[in-house]
Structure formats: structure tokens, C-alpha cells
Chains A and B, each alone.
Chain A
């Protein structure tokens, strides 16, 4: 569906976070990192006075907090699984094996007991490396259904996993944003697929760029030469430059329409011919008793 009002694009709608109880998945690849977009989402959520929990597996805390304004840090809780994800030392703050819905709900309730928090997972690829995909999908589904989490935002590197795993995780997501590098330097292309509760799917493609202060500017739609409809060429009018007149004036057209065609019948005759009356030889058949010839019971005396 390409018809969106220009001031309210799908990407900006998603950034406003009106979608409660959903799972937003950002898919990136090695050609363009989705972390900038992820940070914009974190920034937007923090500006809306939400409590944000980040499970950091890919990058360290400093790198993630870079660019975010420092006064929002009290609402941002970072769970560091970057330093020691598998728990090789004994005092690891968070390990991947703690990625279960019960443990995460407990963690979220510790810091924000009243309001449901936003959970950001950076990134799901690291979790999928160590935990089976079925367990991860199970956990995500339970978090979605439980009340402790307002939205889940996850980052997935699609070139790290097989198509089946990526597809299974995308099935759970209510919105998927796939980011790719754009044609010009700072710009990137986002392909957004949003699935509503009623099963309706809307898709959109937008070019965006992220400024230094992590706000996203949505630029125009990409002009895809491949999908352009063939422009209707100017139809050359063959009746234009002729030596004889092929056109009709209004009076001539009226006279033409009034002319009675030779084999046109009147309306009564037409109806009479179309709905043929009783005298025109219709065969009416009523099957009587002797016509019910049953092959299995020719004498009609079996009592079945």
C-alpha cells in the first residue's frame, strides 16, 4: 500500500510508539548497521518519559549511550551482557542463559514496578547463537503476552542466520523494518512491514537519514525505476489529418442514434421471444412410481 498522507509516514508513526504490546524488529545486514535507527528508537522512547531496559550483547554500554542525552539516563537501565555473556567469570551481570521470560519479567519489575517498560534487545542475533530458536521465540511470545513489557524492540542481523530462523522471528513481530544502504551518502532505505491485529498487512518503503541528535528525518519515497508503471504515451489520433471528414457533429450524432435498425424488434416482441410462453413446446415431466428403477432392488420389495 503506497498511499500514505505525506506528513505522517509509517516510520514516524512507529517512532512515536503508539503501538502497545507489539514487537518491533529491525533487520540489518553488514552493509548498513541498524544500530543508529535503534538508538533513535531508544531516544524517542526516553523522550516520551518511558522506562527503557536495554539488553546489551553486541556493543558496550559506553558505545550505546554515546549520543544519548545524559539527563535521561535515570530512565535507561542497561543490562550488560557484553562483557561476559556466557558467565565464564562468576560475577557476570547478565548472561544469555538468563534470557527467559520469567527472569526478564523479574528484572523489569525490579526497576519499574508500576509502569510497563520498553525492552530493547541489542541484538537478538547474539541470543540466537547460544539459545535455540524455539526457546527464543517462546520467550518473545510470552513477553508479548505478559503485561510487564510495553513494547519489545529487537535488532537482528539477517545475514548471520538462515532464512528459516529469520522468518520464524519475523513471524512473531508486529512490525519489521529492514534497513539497507541508500543511494546517497547519509541516506538509508527502510522497508517497513506492519501487521495489524486484524491480519491486515501494510508495507512501505522510505528513505531516511539520522541526524547527530538521533532524530530521524524521513525523506521522499524511493523512485524505483524497476517498478515504474509504463507511462501512457500520447495516443496519436489517426483521424486528425485526413482529406475526408470522419467526425460527426452533434446534430449528425443525434440523427444517427435515432435511426431504427432494420431487424430491431419492438420491446414486446423481444420479451415474448426471450421469455417463451406456455405454448412454445416446453416438456414437463413428472416422474411417477414406475420410473424409480433401482438397479440394486429391481422388484422393489427389499426392506432396507
Chain B
């Protein structure tokens, strides 16, 4: 008996060396059909694309509605900001509503910098695609003279991608057209616009975070995202983006001191945020400047309070920039936590060493693998040795170079 393949949007059955199946579970229940979402293959959760297709694959198909994604910022906040903008841009393209909160930049400015979507997705070239009948046999056959039977097998696909068109691609060099942007409905919270009402009240919460949580709750209840209220006819998803929580501009001294006064401010906010999200049709992305937070235990609690957590480490400015192993990439990506939503075991990414690269049309997250070592004079240097050589080179370069020649 063949497995029934019933799909809503006919994805092509591709041969994929990775464990992604094109199986779509047939369900009779009236699930919420909201544009831009799809049910998860593993546990039936409603998923939303994060804007970056590789990140969707890493997180088990997408972000589950009602969860929080924590992004630990890189040193100069360039790539985490990019992922933040991708998330909001995906919301605009899928016609979701947005809620943007920031303390440093005006949310209007953030929205104006959103990348432009590439709407004709056919133009994306992927190396491991199925052979198309219409393409000239000339160039494909001349590519391999002797091993021509292996012509059409996909090359080692190190870029993580999923098969159906769930997320969109964006062109970073262009900003989104004002018409597309203005068609989206959005709400803002700019911290300097909400001055503290009363000072000197000793409470574990911080004024800025309470005001933010109140504002978010008002938006959710007013606009009908609340699941406890009676359902209106058409439902939509609210995408919440909170930029740089915990930084000094929110009034939080988490980043400044080893023993901050407001230790529980951010953690109680995240607790309240998650409770709010679980009872509403929303997804949140929170960025935190974790490289400034000195207390690692606090960082651990912040990670536990969010569902998904990833950390970005950019090579700019560190000694890894000149490491030849990392020359193709812009930084490393660490997956700190993956959620277990209504199930016992979570979907873990198969590879732990991940590196990312921001290309013009794509933010790729790839498995970090050593390139084949073809030259015979160079000894096989492992990752650890390379890193050791880079740091020890300043000390006594002659010693390390002689060690390299010891290959048997």
C-alpha cells in the first residue's frame, strides 16, 4: 500500500539526500488556514516562516505560533538585525500584522530598511536540482566526460533547504517598495516615547518592560489575536519583533554590571511575554546583546524562558577572521535551544557546526565542513591545530612551522 500523498500546494517530489519528506499528513480537522502558515509535519503545530529558509529548516520547519525565538546578537548587531528585518519582511509579504518595539532606533526607520522580496522565485539557481527536460543536453553532458552517469545526482548539499515554497527570498541590496510596506498593518512601541510614569517604586519589574507588555497585550486584545476571545471570521498572525532587550537603552543595567540591580526584570518580562503568546496567535522574535551580559547563569535563565534560541557569532574583529577555515563565511551560528512543544522529544538539528553567510539574495546557514585537502606537501591540519597555530604564531613562529612539517 502506497502512502497517500495529498498535498495542498503540490510540491515537486524531489530526491533529497536530507531527511525531509514531502509527506503531508492528511487531516480531517478544520485547522486554521491562515495565509503564510502551514502545519508542522512532526507534531501538527501551526508554523510560520522566519524569513530565512535555512533557519526554518534548522528549527524544524519554521517557528511555531505562540513561541518566542531568542537571537543572541553578534558583536556589532549587524547579522542579528538582518534576521530581525527578514522576520518582519516575511510578515509584510505574508500579510501578517507586525508589532515592532525598539529603544535605539525608531521602529519607522527599521521598517524602512526592510529588504525587498524576490517575487519571481523561479530565478533561484540551486545546484542539486532535478534535471529539466528542456535544458540543453550540451552543457550538462560536457560537464562530466567519464562519470557522466552521475551527472544528474545532486552535489553534496551543504546548504540547508526545505522542499516546499514556504518562505520567501529577499534581496538585501534593495529596500522594500513603499507600496508593499504600506499595505501592511503594524503597531509600534518606541521606548523614548513612553517616559516612566512613577519613579522609585521598588518592584522586580522595570517600567519600560511593563509598559511594553501592557502595550502588547492591548494590541492582542484589540485586534482579535486572542484565542480566549470568540473567534472572528478571518484570523491573522501577529509578528512581534523586540529589538535589543536588556541593553542599557531600555533602562536595564543587565549589560553593565556583574550584579545588576534589576536581575529579574528581563526574566519576568520574558515569562509574561511567553504566557501572553501562548494564548494568542502570535510569534515573537527577541534579540538580546548577550555578549555584554556578564552573568552566564542569567543568560542561561533567559535562554530557558524562550522557546527557540540561537546565537550568532560574527568573525568581524576577532582573530578568526584570518583563519583559512572560515574564509567563506561571515560567522558561526549556534543553536542553543530547540523547543519541545506538546511532545516528548524535540527535533534536533543533525549538524552542530553551523556557519552562516549573508549573500545578496539569501542568508545561508551551512554545515561547516573541511574542504578536501588535495595538496601533498601540506600536512593534514585539523580545525584545532589551525586555531592553535593562529594564536601561537605570535609567540614563536619558528616552533609552529617546524611542527607542521612533522607528517608521516
Contacts and interface: CB of A to CB of B under 8 A. Distances in A.
Given A167-B291, A193-B317, A270 B247 contact: no
Interface in B134-182: 137, 141, 145-146, 148-149, 151-152
B253 A287 contact: no
Contact of A275 (B5, B133, B294, B377): B133
Contact of A225 (B4, B81, B148, B397): B397
B322 A168 contact: no
Contact of A141 (B6, B81, B249, B291): B249
Interface in A245-304: 261, 264, 267, 270-271, 273-275, 285, 287, 291-294, 296-297, 302, 304
A263 to B, nearest CB: 9
Contacts of A273: 149
Contacts, number: 121
Contacts of A271: 137, 141
A59 interface: no
Contacts of A6: none
Contacts of A264: 145-146
B141 A267 contact: yes
Interface string B221-246: 00000000000000000000000000
A297 B28 contact: yes
A249 B157 CA distance: 40
A270 B141 contact: yes
Interface in A223-259: 225-229, 235
Contact of A134 (B28, B253, B390): B253
Contacts of A141: 104, 192, 249
A142 interface: yes
A162 interface: yes
A273 B151 CA distance: 11
A168 B247 contact: yes
Nearest to A268: B137
A271 B141 CA distance: 8
B137 A267 contact: yes
A296 B316 CA distance: 55
A201 B76 contact: yes
- Most chain B CB within 10 A, of A133, A225, A226, A294, is at A226
A141 B106 CA distance: 12
A164 B148 CA distance: 58
Nearest to A263: B146
A134 B78 contact: no
A261 B148 CA distance: 13
Contact of A142 (B1, B131, B192): B192
Contact of A168 (B4, B113, B137, B292): B292
Instruction: Give chain B's interface secondary structure class.
Output: loop
Given A203-B316, A225-B394, A164 B251 contact: no
Contacts of B402: none
Given A162-B257, A270-B141, A195 B4 contact: no
Contacts of B253: 132-134
Given A134-B253, A171-B247, A270-B148, A227 B322 contact: yes
B245 to A, nearest CB: 13
Contacts of B145: 261, 264
Contacts of A291: 1-2, 4
A273 B394 CA distance: 58
Contact of A304 (B28, B113, B131, B377): B28
Given A167-B291, A199-B78, A274 B151 contact: yes
Contacts of B294: 162-164
A165 interface: yes
A48 interface: no
A200 interface: yes
Given A162-B258, A171-B247, A264-B145, A134 B252 contact: yes
Contacts of B2: 285, 287, 291
Interface in A158-205: 162-165, 167-168, 171-172, 193, 195, 198-201, 203
A134 B76 contact: no
A54 B361 CA distance: 46
Interface string B249-264: 1011101111000000
29 contacts: A138-B248, A138-B249, A138-B251, A141-B104, A141-B249, A162-B256, A162-B258, A163-B292, A164-B256, A164-B258, A164-B293, A167-B291, A168-B256, A172-B249, A195-B78, A201-B317, A203-B317, A225-B397, A226-B393, A227-B322, A227-B393, A228-B393, A235-B377, A270-B141, A274-B148, A274-B149, A291-B1, A294-B28, A297-B28
Interface of A: 132-134, 137-138, 141-142, 162-165, 167-168, 171-172, 193, 195, 198-201, 203, 225-229, 235, 261, 264, 267, 270-271, 273-275, 285, 287, 291-294, 296-297, 302, 304
Give 10 nearest A-B pairs by CB, closest first. Answer: A226-B394, A137-B248, A168-B248, A133-B256, A167-B292, A199-B78, A201-B76, A164-B256, A134-B248, A165-B256
Given A227-B319, A270-B148, 17 more contacts: A133-B256, A134-B256, A138-B249, A162-B257, A162-B294, A163-B292, A168-B247, A199-B76, A199-B77, A199-B82, A229-B322, A274-B151, A275-B131, A292-B26, A296-B28, A304-B29, A304-B30
